[in-house]
């Protein structure tokens, strides 16, 4: 195969996260608006060019008050920083998958992050379009991006954990 442009199929893709709450539970959420620009050879993903963007105002934790708090200056500050942007700088084979290293910009701060990528395969849909599926996982530290809002608990620990687990299930269509 050769390098192809791939178009994100948002209807068959999810961007999810989870973070510890009260040191005893996990809050899960997702973003409903995101986009990607991908050029890749499925036979050699190490040469892929990837940019991924998330509209932070599309956060959904199934709790309106919490979602509005996440959009506020205490967290994402979507009026000043409306997007999370990830630009891959290198992709390398690792075990059965790949390591994707890149620059992640969140809340006006850019840091290098590494994510695990699994190529789930490719297939033709009933209309003859070539589809490709990927899973991306990783953990970022929210404090590294200035997202430091928190509260100490009487029993010790904090209200919100620093580690944010990220899970993306993405489906693309060959352009």
- What is the reported pLDDT for 53? 98
Task: Say how many domains are in the chain.
Answer: 1
For range 107-127, the mean pLDDT: 96
- What is the reported pLDDT for 8? 97
| Model confidence, pTM | 0.93
What is the domain-level CATH number for residue 96? 2.40.128.110
In whole numbers, what is the pLDDT of the chain averaged over residues?
Answer: 94
Which residue, 137, 135, 145, is CA-closest to 112? 145
| Residues 99 and 91: beta-carbon distance below 8 Å | yes
Residue 16's domain comprises 4-174
Confidence of residue 17 (pLDDT cuts 50, 70, 90): very high
Which residue, 168, 105, 171, is CA-closest to 135? 168
Q: Quote the radius of gyration of the chain (alpha carbons, Å).
A: 17
- What is the reported pLDDT for 166? 98
């Amino acid at each position: 195969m050769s390098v192809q442009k791939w178009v994100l199929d948002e209807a068959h893709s999810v961007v999810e996260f989870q973070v510890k709450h009260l040191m005893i539970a996990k809050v899960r959420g997702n973003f409903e608006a995101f986009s990607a620009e991908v050029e890749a050879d499925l036979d050699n993903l190490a040469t892929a060019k990837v940019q991924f963007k998330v509209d932070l105002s599309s956060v959904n934790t199934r709790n309106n008050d919490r979602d509005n708090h996440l959009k506020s200056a205490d967290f994402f500050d979507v009026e000043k920083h409306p997007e999370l942007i990830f630009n891959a700088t290198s992709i390398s084979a690792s075990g059965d998958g790949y390591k994707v290293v890149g620059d992640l910009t969140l809340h006006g701060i850019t840091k290098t992050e590494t994510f695990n990528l699994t190529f789930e395969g490719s297939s033709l849909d009933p209309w003859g379009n070539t589809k490709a599926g990927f899973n991306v996982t990783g953990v970022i530290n929210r404090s590294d991006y200035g997202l430091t809002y928190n509260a100490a608990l009487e029993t010790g620990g904090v209200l919100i954990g620093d580690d944010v687990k990220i899970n993306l299930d993405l489906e693309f269509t060959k352009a």
